[in-house]
Chain A
Amino acid sequence: MNALLASARAVHFAAAMWLFGELVLACALSAWRGRDGPTGPVAALHRRLPPVARSSIAIGVASAFAWLAAAAATMSGVPLPQAIEPETLGTVLVGTLFGKVWIARLGLALVLLIALWPRNTGRGGWRLAFSTIVAGVYLAALAWTGHAAAAEGPWRDAQLVSDVMHLITAGAWLGALPPLAYLLGTTQPIEHATWATRRFSTVAIACVSALILSGLGNSWFLVGSVPALFGTTYGALLLAKLALLAVMISLAALNRLVLTPRLAAGDRHAVRALRRNTLLEIAAGLLVVTIVGVLGITIPAAHQSVLWPFAHTLSWTPAQESATRWPLAAAALVAAASVTALVAGARRRAWRSATAGLAGVLASAMAGTWLLAVPAYPTTYASSPVRYTTTAIVDGERLFATHCVACHGSDGTGGGRAAAELSTRPANLVEHAGQHRPGELYWWIAHGRAGTPMPAFSPPLGSDEIWSIVQFLQSLSDAASAVGPNGELVAEPNAPDFSFELAGRGQQTLLPRDESRDTLLVVYSLPDSLSRLRSLASQRRAFDDERIRVLAVTSSAADAEAASAQTAGGESMLAIAAPDVAKVYAIFAARDGAVGANLRHSEFLIRDGRLRARWLGVPAADAERNQDIWEMAENVDREPPRPPPSHQHAH
C-alpha cells in the first residue's frame, strides 16, 4: 500500500510541476519578447500548451485517483477493494482535510483543462496569466496534503508558507525543463535558442535561490538537527535529494557559464550539449520527485529517534582542554590565512597561491575535525521514549539501588563500597549526567565501557528500565546544578510530570500542553505543615486571583488522610497522588547543594514545565511568604511564554 501511495504521490507531483513550469516559461518568454523579440519560441510554446495541458492533467487526475484509493485504504485500515467502496471514499472526501483539498484541486484541474482547451487558442495574454495562476494554486495546494498541514500552533503558517514557496519554485524550475529541451531541439535560427535559454536561465536562478531558502526552512521544521539528518530514514532520503540537487545545479552552472556564451558565439555543438544537459537535469529531477513521493509518507526526522551511523561525532568538549585548545587555535589561524590566500589568489588569477590556499583550508578543516572528534554510539542522539515523570525517576532510583550503588554509591558520586577495589574509580554520575547526552549514558549503561570495570546491563535490564535510570540520573544532576552556594535556585530544572486527583474530580496531570497558569507545588508532612496548609486553604481565592494553582502532595498516606480531615476547604489543593511525587520533589529541596536532604516542607513555583522558585520549610509569616510567591509569579508572567522542555522524551 505504501508503494502505491508513494508512487501515486510522485507521479502526481511531477505532473503538476510540469504543467506549472510549462506555463511559467511561456509567460516569461511572452513578457520579455517585447516589441522586437523573436516570435518563434513563443509561438512554439503556445502551440505546445494544449497537448501538454491535456497530458499532464490526464496523468495528474489518474494519479490523484490512485492516491485517493491508497489514502482511503491506509486511513480506514481496510484492504484496498473495501476502501474504494463509496462509504469509505465518501468519508475520506468529505470528512478529512486531505479529501477537501483533493476535491478542490480536482476542480482546479477541470478549470485548467477548459482554459487551455485548443479551441480557446489565440495568444490571449490574460488567458495565459490566468492559467498560470490556477496551475500555481493547483500545485501549491499540495502543501495542505503533507506534513506542514499537521504542524502545530504559530509555526503551522510559517511551515505552510515555506512549503508553498518550495513547491512553486521547484515547479517553475523543473517543470520548465521539458519545454526548454523542446525549444533547444526545434528552434531555428540559433539566436532564438540563445534568447530563450537566457530567459529561462534568469527565471531558474531566481527559483533555485528561493528553492534552497525554502528547502532550508522545511528542513528546519521537519529535520531540526544535523544528527537527525544523518541518523534517520527521513534524513537519509533528504541527503540523497540534496546530492541530486547538487548534480542538477552543477549542470545548470555548466550550461549558464560555459555553454550559453558558446551558444551566443554561434557554436552549433553547444545547442546539442545544452539539450543533453537539460535532459540529464530532467532525469535527476524525476529522481528527486520520486524521493519526494516517499518523503511524504516517511516520519519526519524531527519526530523520530536518531540512530547515529558513525563511530565519531564532533563536539566542543575537547576544545575545553588546553591540550586541544592551542592546536585548535593554530588550525583556525591557518584556516583564516588560507581563505585569504584563496580569495586573493582567485581574484588576481594567481592560481598557484589559490591552490595553496585551498590546500590550507582543507588541511585545517581536517585537523579541526580530528581535534574535535569524540567517540559516538548509535544512541548518542537518541531521546528517551520514557517520559520525565516522577514514576520513571522512582523506577530508575529503585533499579539504581539494585544494580549501581555498589560501585557508584547511593548518591551517584562514585563512592560505593566496592569502589576501592576497582582499577578505575567509578564515575561521578551526578557530574556525568550534566556533561553527557542522555543517549550516551544509555549506551554506557546498556553496553558497558571498554577498558573500565563498568559492565553491560543489557541484559538483564530492558530498554525502558535503562531509560528510567537515565531519567533518575538526570534528576540528580539537575537538582545538584540548580542549587547555588547559598541554597538559592540558580537554574530552572525541568519539573518531572505526575498525575494526581483532587477529591471528587477526575485525574489531572501537572503538565498539560497549554500550561498558562503557574502551579505552587507544596510538599508537606504533618504535623509541621498543618498551619501552612490551613492558611493556604483560607487564601485560595487570593491564589486564584493571581492565577496560581496550589497543589499539595505528601509521601505519607496517613498524612494525606489527616490533612484532608483537618484542613477546612482543602479539597481544591490536597492532591491524591502516589508517594513518589513528594519523594522525587524532595530531591529538588536540597540545601547548600547537598542532594538527598529530605525536608519536611517545601514549596515550588512551576511554570512552563520548569521549577522557577522554591521556598524551604514552613514559613514563620504566611502573609510574607504569600506576597513573595505572588511577586515571583508576576515576574514569571511578564516573561514571554516558552515552549515546554524539549528533551524530556521522544515519541
Chain B
Amino acid sequence: MALPAGAHAFLDHATPAVGSTVHASPAQMKLWFTQELEPAFSTVQVSDASGKRVDQGDPQLDHGDATLLTVSVPPLAPGRYRVRWRVLSVDTHVTEGDYSFDVTR
C-alpha cells in the first residue's frame, strides 16, 4: 500500500486551490509551503492543457512571508491548467509536485 512519502517543504495550500474551479482568471498563482523556502532554487511553472507554458516566468517569494511562492500569469482562457512546483527549503532539501485547476467562463 502506498503511503504518502513527502520530503521537507510540503505544499500547504494554494490559490487557485488544488483541483478547484475558478470563475475569474487569477493574476497570480500563490503557493503556501510548510517551511521557509530558498528563493534561489524554488520555481513554479504553469502550463495549459496542451502543455504550453503560460506563466510569466517570474517566480518569487513574498516579501513578508518566506513560505509563500508566487508566479504571475496573463489572463487565462477557460480550460484546465497544470501547476508544477519544485522548491528548496532552508534545510537544503528539495521537493516537487504538481496539481491542476480549471478556469471557466
Contacts and interface: CB of A to CB of B under 8 A. Distances in A.
Interface in A51-105: 71, 74-77, 91-92, 95-98
A507 B20 contact: yes
Contacts of B16: 499, 506-507
B6 A96 contact: no
A75 B7 contact: no
A76 B41 contact: yes
A77 B19 contact: no
Contacts of A508: 15
Interface stretch (B30-38, B51-59, B77-85): B30-38
Interface in B65-105: 67, 86, 88-94
B70 to A, nearest CB: 11
Contacts of A382: 3
Contacts of A501: 22-24
Contact of B10 (A504, A506, A651): A651
Nearest to A383: B4
A513 interface: yes
Nearest to B14: A509
Nearest to B68: A513
A254 to B, nearest CB: 38
Contacts of B21: 578
A650 interface: yes
A507 B22 contact: yes
A512 B86 CA distance: 21
Given A576-B23, A651-B4, A303 B10 contact: yes
Chain B CB within 10 Å, residue with most, of A96, A458, A578: A96
Contact of A96 (B9, B35, B38): B38
A598 interface: no
Interface in A503-517: 504-509, 511-513
A223 B23 CA distance: 42
A463 B7 contact: no
Nearest to A389: B17
Contacts of A446: 1
Contact of B6 (A91, A511, A651): A651
Contacts of A387: 13
A97 B42 CA distance: 13
A145 B92 contact: yes
B49 interface: no
Interface string A371-389: 0000000110010010100
Contacts of A509: 13, 15, 17
Nearest to A506: B26
Contacts of B27: 506
Contacts, number: 127
Contacts of B36: 150, 152
A97 B39 CA distance: 10
Contacts of B32: 512-513
Nearest to A508: B15
B81 to A, nearest CB: 13
A297 interface: yes
Contacts of B7: 299
Given A303-B8, A506-B26, A507-B20, A152 B38 contact: no
A158 interface: no
Nearest to B12: A513
B15 to A, nearest CB: 5
B43 to A, nearest CB: 10
Interface string A626-638: 0000000000000
B6 A499 contact: no
A337 B16 CA distance: 63
Contacts of B23: 501, 576
A391 B4 CA distance: 20
Contacts of B26: 506-507
A499 B17 contact: yes
Contact of A650 (B6, B11, B40, B67): B6
Nearest to A145: B92
A305 B1 CA distance: 12
Contacts of B94: 74-75, 77
A152 B34 contact: yes
A506 B15 contact: yes
A316 B39 CA distance: 47
A381 to B, nearest CB: 11
Contact of A305 (B3, B35, B88, B93): B3
Contacts of A299: 5-8
B3 A499 contact: no
A382 B40 CA distance: 34
A375 B33 CA distance: 36
A77 B92 contact: no
B35 A152 contact: yes
Chain A CB within 10 Å, residue with most, of B3, B16, B39: B3
A149 interface: yes
A305 B2 CA distance: 11
Contacts of A187: none
Contacts of B40: 75, 91-92, 95-96
B3 A75 contact: no
Contacts of A458: 1
Contacts of A572: none
B24 A75 contact: no
B12 A97 contact: no
A150 B35 contact: yes
A284 B93 CA distance: 28
B91 A149 contact: yes
A385 B4 contact: yes
Contacts of B11: 651
A434 interface: no
A264 interface: no
A463 B41 contact: no
B15 A77 contact: no
Contacts of A304: 5-6
B90 A149 contact: yes
B38 A499 contact: no
A146 interface: yes
A522 to B, nearest CB: 20
B17 A507 contact: yes
A74 B92 contact: yes
B12 A391 contact: no
Nearest to B11: A651
A497 B88 CA distance: 27
B6 A303 contact: yes
Given A152-B34, A507-B26, A146 B91 contact: yes
Closest 4 CB pairs of A and B: A95-B40, A651-B10, A150-B91, A499-B17
6 contacts: A75-B92, A307-B3, A446-B1, A501-B23, A506-B24, A507-B24
